[in-house]
């Protein structure tokens, strides 16, 4: 149990375009979903926290107009990187928490590697 999927696993896009990444909890209802960014050889940095049906809470320094988060249901959250630039190239990972297996902890998706040319 506690499986989280992400789609796509990899995306390459041109500068200025927008990219949408999906995060799904497959076998449990995720009351909260989190979006992280990980640069090479660095740790995961939390970008935002979203609860189903409400606006996301962004971490300091993360532009909410650039990284649009929608958490429309208990099993799906999306991250849209708008007007992507090469510096947005990174590994984006989502996690979901809910009462999966009786444990309210975070389970991570496999990540999405974004490359902006």
Partner 1 sequence: QKEVEQDPGPLSVPEGAIVSLNCTYSNSAFQYFMWYRQYSRKGPELLMYTYSSGNKEDGRFTAQVDKSSKYISLFIRDSQPSDSATYLCAMSENTDKLIFGTGTRLQVFP
Nearer of residues 4 and 84 to partner 1, judged by Cβ: 4
Closest separation in Å from C-beta 80 to partner 1: 20
- Residue numbers of the site for partner 1 (CB under 8 A)? 4, 6, 32, 34, 41-46, 49, 91, 93, 97, 103-111, 113
Torsion angle of C-alpha atoms 29, 43, 91, 66, degrees rounded to 10? 80
19-25 β-sheet, strand order: 4-7, 19-25, 76-81, 67-73
Closest separation in Å from C-beta 65 to partner 1: 22
């Amino acid at each position: 149990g506690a499986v989280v999927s992400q789609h796509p696993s990899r995306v390459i896009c041109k500068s200025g375009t927008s990219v949408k990444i999906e995060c799904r909890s497959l076998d449990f209802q995720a009351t909260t979903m989190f979006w992280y960014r990980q640069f090479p050889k660095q740790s995961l940095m939390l970008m935002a926290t979203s609860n189903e049906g409400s606006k996301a809470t962004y971490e300091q320094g993360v532009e909410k107009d650039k990284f649009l988060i929608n958490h429309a249901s208990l099993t799906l959250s999306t991250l849209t990187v708008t007007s992507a630039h090469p510096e947005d190239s990174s590994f984006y990972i989502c996690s979901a928490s809910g009462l999966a297996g009786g444990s309210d902890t975070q389970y991570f998706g496999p990540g999405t590697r974004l490359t902006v040319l």
